[in-house]
Amino acid sequence: MELTREIVRRCQQITCSKLDEAVRDRVAYLLLDYLGVALRGTLSDSSQPIQRFLLGRAAGPSAVPVCGTGLRADAPYAALALGTAAHSLELDDVVNAASLHPAVSVMSAALAAGYLAESSGARLIEAIVAGYEVTVKLGIALDPAAHYAQGFHPTGTCGTMGAAIAAACMLGLDEQQMTNALGIAGSQAAGSMEFLADGSFTKRLHAGWSAHAGVIAALLAAEGFTGPASIIEGKFGFLHAYSPASDSSKVLAGWARPWEVMNTSIKPHACCRYKQGAIDCILQLAREQQIGPDDVERIEVAILQAGFALVADPPELKANPQSVVDAQFSMPFGAAVALCNGNAFLNQYCLENVNSEEVRALMKRVHCVRDETIEKDFPRKWPASVAIVTTDGRTCRCRLDHPKGDPENPLTWDEIIVKFNSLAGDVVDSQRCEAIVARVRAIEACPSVRELLSGLCVPPVSEGV
């Protein structure tokens, strides 16, 4: 089978009106989550250099508004800024089976390209469904653990491919052009895990760069630039190049049964997904057993093997974070800050808490372990197990199979709106927040993505200005 061409053929067949109502509603739900994170992400330390970079470069007449700012940029750079901002808080959505974040690549590329093409909200839904499907299926086919072991960040690699598909959908490319876009994207897919060594910003850039690369790929393909039509399955193609354990049969297995947007999880905590179930357990034990920081003798956290190197190893590094990025990938910090603050949202992941004597003292009592009993159902389930030994001799245990935010343990629409308001409210006023929520919930009827993007700027912009 010509796998690359078959992927493109299936993406070309996606039609909004033929998607189930639940799928269309899910896309709006994920879009609102993405926009809240992206808006607040424009205030992050890693977004400031990108905004200064954009300020120094004149944008063309078709420049795209950059959400959360008053800036405009050429579409690939707008996608770069959007994706990086949306990935900067560790609050973006995630698909457990692929261990990656689809929205930051796919939606950033789709919105930037859609603005150029004045695409409709219905077309945006189609692009998001297609982009998620490609991103996630490739992530699963690579074998996430093997892909990570090679030093690659799948949000950057797989996200580039999904972003190209999404941008191509928004630009209305035909089957051959979309195939070329995917082929071009394959030579741009990148993302090194070396950011773990010192907590640098490049982790966040992977999302922005994948969105940028996807838009570039689609724009070049629209002009007749070609890419290999065997980029996925070829001898030197994506699957063979990025993982020694890839399985091409997994790319189409279960395609649209259900669509991967339905398998996507939402993050309630501002950190790596491999920490989130354990944080749920810690907060539950603290609440139910009335446990505070001073009551703790020892906290033992079982970590999934696939995430151990991300959040628990090397232990001396994870117990001594030096930056917010370090903290986002430190299970000892996550456990300690949750117990000390009763929460693990954005405000808890700050340098003040990284340097807090109380948090650091508690981190020394957090011990990460491997546990075979939580491995058997992974990645279908992402179990978490925590035991807290108290100073009065109690051992309090908690285990869960699905972290809060998983499709099996979801946030409601109301909870997503609360999350959106808490994030976007730092950038736009409450009236604007309400308007954005209303527009997103009716996105299928939106005549042009330009209406959505223009309303996300600070200050808001009018078309033609």
Q: pLDDT category, 58, cuts 50, 70, 90?
A: confident
Rounded mean pLDDT, 209-213: 99
First to last CA, the chain: 49
Beta strands in 68-113 (DSSP E): 72-73
- Please tell me the distance from the alpha carbon of residue 370 to that of residue 368, in angstroms, as a whole number: 7
Six-digit token string for 444? 């299928």
Q: What is the pLDDT of residue 61?
A: 84
Contact 322, 363 (CB under 8 A): no
Confidence of residue 56 (pLDDT cuts 50, 70, 90): confident
Q: What is the pLDDT of residue 380?
A: 79
What 3-state DSSP class applies to 295?
helix
What pLDDT, on the 0 to 100 scale, is given for residue 14?
Answer: 99
Whole-model pTM: value is 0.94
Tell me the C-alpha distance between 395 and 397, whole Å. 7
Query: What's the pLDDT score for residue 452?
Result: 95
| 273-400 classified as CATH 3.30.1330.120 | yes
Q: Write down the pLDDT at residue 29.
A: 99
In this prediction, residue 464 has a pLDDT band, given cuts at 50, 70 and 90, of very low
Distance CA 120, CA 136 (A): 24
Angle (CA) 382-289-326 rounded to 5° is 50
pLDDT band of residue 460 (cuts 50, 70, 90) is low
Contact 180, 227 (CB under 8 A): yes
> What does the pLDDT read at residue 258?
98
Is the pLDDT reported for residue 354 higher than 90? Answer: yes
Average pLDDT of the chain, as a whole number: 96
Which pLDDT tens digit goes with each residue over 242-283?
Answer: 999 999 999 999 999 999 999 999 999 999 999 999 999 999
Task: Say which CATH class 3-267+435-454 falls into.
Answer: mainly alpha
- 6-29 burial by CB neighbour count: b if 16+ within 10 A, else e? ebbeebbebebeebeeebbebbbb
The distance of Cα 423 from the centroid of its chain, to the nearest Å, equals 16
> Taking residues 375-385, what's their average pLDDT?
89
Alpha-helical regions (H) of 172-201: 175-186
Q: How confident is the model at residue 59 (pLDDT cuts 50, 70, 90)?
A: confident
The confidence score (pLDDT) of residue 461 equals 53
User: Residue 293 contacts by C-beta under 8 Å, 6 or more apart in sequence?
Assistant: 336, 339, 340, 358, 361, 362
Note the pLDDT of residue 465: 32
Q: Phi/psi at 59 (nearest 5 deg)?
A: -95, 150
DSSP assignment, residue 151? T
Read off the DSSP letter of residue 200: -
- The letter for the amino acid at 393 is G
**How far is the C-alpha of 457 from the C-alpha of 430, rounded, in Å?**
14
Torsion of CA 444, 449, 450, 454, to 10 degrees: 80
The arithmetic mean of pLDDT across residues 216-245, rounded, is 99
Query: Who wins on pLDDT, 136 or 457?
Result: 136
Instruction: Return phi, psi of residue 458, to 5°.
Output: -125, 110
pLDDT in tens, 15-35: 999 999 999 999 999 999 999
Q: What's the pLDDT tens digit per position in 391-411?
A: 999 999 999 999 999 999 999
Average pLDDT over residues 307-315: 95
What per-residue confidence (pLDDT) applies to 459?
A: 76
